Structure 1
Amino acid sequence: MAREANEVARLRRLLAERLGMAFDDKKDALLAEILQQRATQHGLTDRGYLDRLATAWTAELSTLAEALTVNETYFFRNIEQFHALAEVALPERVRARGRLDILSVGCSTGEEAYTLAMVAAERVPDSLEVGIVGLDVNRVALRKAMAGRYSLWSLRETPEPARLRWFKQAPEGVEVDARIRGRVRFVEHNVARDDPVLFAPGTYDVVFCRNLLMYLTPDTARAVIERITRALAPGGFLFLGHTDTLGSRPPGLDVHHSHAAFYYKRVQGSPRVAEPPPAPVVRPRPRERALRLVSEERFAEALQELEAITGAEADRPDMWLVRGCVLAHLGQTGRAAQLCRRLLERDALYADAHQLLADCFEGDDNHASAQRHHRIAAQLDPRFAMPRMRLGLLARRLGDRRGAELELDRAVQLLREESGERIALFGGGFGRSALIALCRAELAAVS
């Protein structure tokens, strides 16, 4: 048993070193099963297989990537991002340059890259040259992408005009129109490695890198984003998946929000250096007293304390936030939501205000709006545990087992470092240990 555990740990290290992929010990059973299968397939012992994997065994790395990632996707997935692409990003880039270059990182079986080509074909003048590159480490997925043939299920979110214009019937499904296939080039690439040609400075007008970062080690994910930022032309656009976030002020990028989608835009000129964390703020005594009352669940007294604060101090955003949280705890979600909207009019990137608004929507059983604002809060502040926890609990309630597992697992990690103030404001009366225990119990229920 100890030897088996050591071999799984070695496989985990090799995956991190060779593919940049991260797996915690909860995936040990899956890793052990795949290790045994692949070693048997090659007629090797587990140890012999790992020894060979430590060498330049590129084909096997591709097979492992296929086995360990979820490749299920479809055309026009998360269509709100394609609306932002069509109505914001492409018109800007057409005005800026004489051609368009678009990159799909982690393109899997090609649906995303072809969708990009379809949107560009609808929005970009025929006289403008358009080049689209799809990158993935999985050779099997890339072969399917290059064939351009898909089941009808892959079209489940495709608008009817696009279905009629860009697909034709084929055995057991559909085939992508040759005009679209001709615009897309697929390249095998391991994102754990840099490529000075693929990621040459200022190359791309638009980059899509969706739901890839969650599989990567923190160092690899950071390196991938640095390469993408470097490769974006000034004013170029980056679209990430709902599970990925860079926070509200990533180096070299500005955050934008439209069409119910978040995306990033390469700043003009020199990349902005990462901003240092803000200096600790000395809280005024009235606010401290209000927070203490909130932590003790004495919400009516906390509201009285807050209402006694006047002048410029009462008009501070952080004071409005505490007041909104107290109102929500008292069941006055309408007044709390109104405060949130006033906060967001001042600063649309205020993660805590989005989180409180999401909590208000949850209280009114408006799950779709709650999920949207929880996601925004999580994207704006990657260290914020509460939106991850609420997304996980909502996913569990709505029957999304995989979504619940991903979000709750992330919440457990983040809760260990979550600020006491946020736990008091958004924890529903539970302390840190109780919230972690709750997430673990829900994780056990969905596993």
Structure 2
Amino acid sequence: MTRAAEITRFRELLARRFGWTYAERDYDLLANLLTERSALAGMPPGDYLNKLAARPWTTETNELIERLSITETYFFRHGEQFRALREEALPDRVAVRSAQRVLRMLSVACSSGEEAYSLAITGRQVRPDPDWIIDVIGIDANPAMLARAGAGRYTAWSLRETPDPVRRRWFTPDAEGYAVADEVRAMVQFRRYNVADPDEGLWRPDQYDVIFCRNLLMYLTPPVVSALVARMAGALAPGGYLFLGHTDSLGTGAAGLELRHTHNAFYYRRGGAGGTPPAQRPGPAPGTAATGSAFTDEDAYHRALSMLRDEQFADALALIAERPPARARDRLLHGVLLAQAGRLPEATETARRLIDDDGLNADAHQLLGLCLEGVNSPGEAVAQYRLAAYLDPGFALARLRLGQLARRRGNDGDGARELEQALDLLAGEQDDRIALFGGGFGRIALTVLCRSELEACGASR
């Protein structure tokens, strides 16, 4: 068996056993790990793979899980999601659960436990009175991380985003850093679980009020993602909430889940009885029909779009000025033209008004990102591009900008990941989006640009 074939088989074994997926850029990581582990086992790589595939090899699979798991986490990570949990999701569930007086939450891929304890603390803050039960389960495949979670002791670095009043109330300083209060630890239990496996008890229908599964789906194979999403959606109580990470998205209307946007956070709510109506619903996407008059007819809109492609910004703006834009699609075009003409304050105001009208408009977030870049606020621009990519997982140009900005910051790993996604998505990108956000480049030129940026990151395709 050739070396490349060994790595391919190793990758396939990891996918089948754990549901993990690896890109071509992970070749060296897997090759080095296979060399190391087979040498320690005292056998050639081919024999090591045969043994790994043939029967349970608990000590070795535990070692692989520990070596390959993504374990970075901290308390109250992505605070905007915890604000949405505390001020929107949990009060909603408290109203629904007034008869049962119990809130059940699940932390998927909980790592060393910070997220699960953060859920428990938030539940404790929200519960109406001491009679309520807060029940949190944290699950992970990594036994070493679960041991740390069960110990409930953390360094100050793990509490770097924890508000001081919360730190004083729910943590006790000790020689190692901080210990989680016994009251919080009593609310949380940890279980070892591989997301590629079924578990009828864990995924019993309609049992959880809230599930957190953040920054995991991107590391899993498509079949495992589909199965896990279906399990989570089914295990949520009607009206329950699912929080994903910024790198994960289901789009809209997936698995009976409604996309919601509050507190600058995106999350999902299962449809059904109970709860309040969604805070916002998706409006018409750019390019689709909408009620109300438009600033121009279809021919004039496409003439203005053509002028944008030809960089005739003043002429296009003059055409728009003949009748003020009313539809979201037309206002978006107006905002892009303003930005291209250097009128960034007006373009920014247009983008923000579009977002106020419909916070789920991915194109409006992309426009705002471009405006923020133009006033030298790349960090804020990145946040807007992430929202655009989150809202529309097929948005190639949002991924392209994220990749380019990551590379400029010297983060070639993140840059390559975003650029690879952009390259995969470019063939299916909407023509209007390429005109609006392609910077004057066509689809082929953008593909060449994307490959060039990948090479600059040390990757190529």
Deviations 1:354-405 (A, max 9, x none): 1112211211122343222222211111100122222222333344444333
- Are residue 243 (structure 1) and residue 242 (structure 2) matched? no
Deviations 1:404-437 (A, max 9, x none): 3332332222223212221121011223333334
Q: Which runs of 4+ in 1 moved over 6 A?
A: 280-283
Distance 1:383 1:38 in 2: 38
Distance 1:356 1:58 in 2: 52
Cα separation, partners in 2 of 1:425 and 1:44, compared to 1, 3 Å: same
**Which range moved further: 83-92 or 59-68?**
59-68
- 1:162 pairs with one of 159, 162, 166: 166
Cα separation, partners in 2 of 1:252 and 1:56, compared to 1, 3 Å: farther
What letter corresponds to residue 86 of structure 2 in structure 1?
Answer: A
Matching of residues 124-139 of structure 1 within 5 Å:
124=127, 125-139=129-143
Displacement of 1:52 after TM fit?
2.2
* Structure 1: unaligned runs, 5 residues or longer: none
Cα separation, partners in 2 of 1:85 and 1:58, compared to 1, 3 Å: farther
Which residue of the partner structure matches residue 115 of structure 1?
118
Distance 1:88 1:12 in 2: 41
| Contact kept? 2:239, 2:273, Cα under 8 Å | no
SS at match of 1:315: coil
**Which range moved further: 350-359 or 386-395?**
386-395
Which residue of the partner structure matches residue 294 of structure 2?
none
What letter corresponds to residue 309 of structure 2 in structure 1?
Answer: S
- 2:370 pairs with one of 347, 359, 363: 359
Displacement of 1:169 after TM fit?
3.1
Deviations 1:63-100 (A, max 9, x none): 32332232121111111111111111111111211201
SS at match of 2:172: strand
| Contact kept? 1:73, 1:154, Cα under 8 Å | yes
Displacement of 1:14 after TM fit?
1.7
- 2:395 pairs with one of 384, 407, 411: 384
**How many equivalent residue pairs?**
437
Matching of residues 368-383 of structure 1 within 5 Å:
368-383=379-394
Deviations 1:286-328 (A, max 9, x none): 22222222222232233334445x59xx532212222221221
Which residue of the partner structure matches residue 430 of structure 1?
441
Which residue of the partner structure matches residue 279 of structure 2?
none
Which residue of the partner structure matches residue 193 of structure 2?
189
**Which range moved further: 117-126 or 7-16?**
117-126
RMSD: 2.5
Displacement of 1:334 after TM fit?
2.0
Distance 1:171 1:42 in 2: 38
Distance 2:318 2:351 in 1: 19
TM-score between both structures, scaled by the size of structure 1: 0.91
Cα separation, partners in 2 of 1:239 and 1:33, compared to 1, 3 Å: same
Which residue of the partner structure matches residue 278 of structure 2?
none
**Which range moved further: 199-208 or 432-441?**
432-441
Deviations 1:243-274 (A, max 9, x none): 1111133231112122221111111159xxxx
What letter corresponds to residue 311 of structure 2 in structure 1?
Answer: E
| Contact kept? 2:257, 2:271, Cα under 8 Å | yes
Identity %: 46
| Contact kept? 1:201, 1:233, Cα under 8 Å | yes
Distance 1:233 1:315 in 2: 40
Which residue of the partner structure matches residue 261 of structure 2?
257
Displacement of 1:173 after TM fit?
2.5
| Contact kept? 1:324, 1:335, Cα under 8 Å | yes
- Are residue 296 (structure 1) and residue 299 (structure 2) matched? no
| Contact kept? 2:75, 2:158, Cα under 8 Å | yes
* Structure 2: unaligned runs, 5 residues or longer: 275-281, 290-296
Distance 1:9 1:267 in 2: 41
Which residue of the partner structure matches residue 65 of structure 2?
65
Cα separation, partners in 2 of 1:345 and 1:81, compared to 1, 3 Å: closer
Displacement of 1:9 after TM fit?
0.8
**Which range moved further: 204-213 or 348-357?**
348-357
Displacement of 1:330 after TM fit?
1.1
Cα separation, partners in 2 of 1:326 and 1:62, compared to 1, 3 Å: farther
